Amino acid sequence: MKQSFWKTLTKPIIALAPMANVTDAAFRRIIAKTGKPDVTWTEFVSADGLFSAGREKLLPDLWFTENERPIVAQFFSAKPELMYQTALLAQELGFDGIDINMGCPDKGVEKQGAGAALMKNPELAKEIILETKRGAGNLPVSVKTRIGYTKNMLDTWLPHLLETEPAAITLHFRTRQEMSKVGAHWELATEAVRIRDAHDSSPKKTLILGNGDCKDIDEAREKAIQYGLDGVMIGRGIFGNPWLFTPRTEPIGIQEKLETMLEHTRLFCELYKVDPETGYGLKEFSVMKKHYKAYASGFDGAKELRVRLMEAKNLSDIETMISDWINQNKKARTIFME
């Protein structure tokens, strides 16, 4: 089993979840600067797309900097031969690890037989993992999945995955059918660890990470200890809070929030060559708006600012709106200038 960087991490491991159009290169750079997780995932990328005419449009999703290490590239596909080729590419690009998405509920992804659909085809899932490992060289291969498709099937699904000896398995403690409509079933974490230990009790055993509804690192560590997990992956808690992985004794001030939001926006527009007039580039400016909703919260006047930010069409609009807002809010201006 190839674990490489996984062996160097202190438990419990706290990881940043892969989220499409959220954990892109721009946001990950901001996160790495303000407070790094123990391990970072890229957005998920289509292996099929990487070996098609759309390759150039997808490669920016695999941009990363040295400050983000260790960083894992996440891919999805239902074609083992393409996952082999993608693993070779991950080696070439210098990633620290490869993760296979076997839990995404997106209909387009499932239509290809990938993502969560692989839970209905365990033999293909195993073949995909083995071919990825064959192409990965010294890079460790991990899997991110769910507890089942329409019901909890850990007792059958997890052993199938463990047979291929991935370096780690991250379990989102919901079924595909449940999506995010119910709370994550963390009570199943103990069962997942038991199944893993029954399969392999050696020091090189597959690591088990949990995922779902975890908002901060304190809660993540508590859950890891409570359920005997090797780590926890945090997703939505990162919205508007790139400081998530660095403990703070004081709350984030308005100045720091707004300056970081501006830096994030400028970096996004620069990296993805966003046209200042049209808002289009390698990624659309509108992608940033989900971040603005989170950054502009938790302080007096945040709602009014948030409404204005949703109307922005480019970086210039954002700069003007923030400047105007500060000038119109004496209290905020005082804090901002301290």
Any idea which residues carry the catalytic annotation?
104
Please state the length of the chain.
Answer: 338
Helix or strand (DSSP H, E) at 210: strand 207-211
209 phi, psi to nearest 5 deg:
-115, 145
List beta partners, residue 148: 175
**Dist. CA 37–CA 19, nearest whole Å:** 15
DSSP string, 28-81: HHHHHHH---SEEEEEEEEHHHHTSTTHHHHGGGG---GGG-SEEEEEE-S-HH
Give ∠ CA 141-234-240 in degrees, rounded to 5: 130
Give ∠ CA 279-283-286 in degrees, rounded to 5: 50
Biggest CA pair distance of the chain: 63
Q: Which two tokens stand for residue 41?
A: 């995932």
Q: List the one residue out of 335, 41, 305 whose CA is nearest residue 170.
A: 41
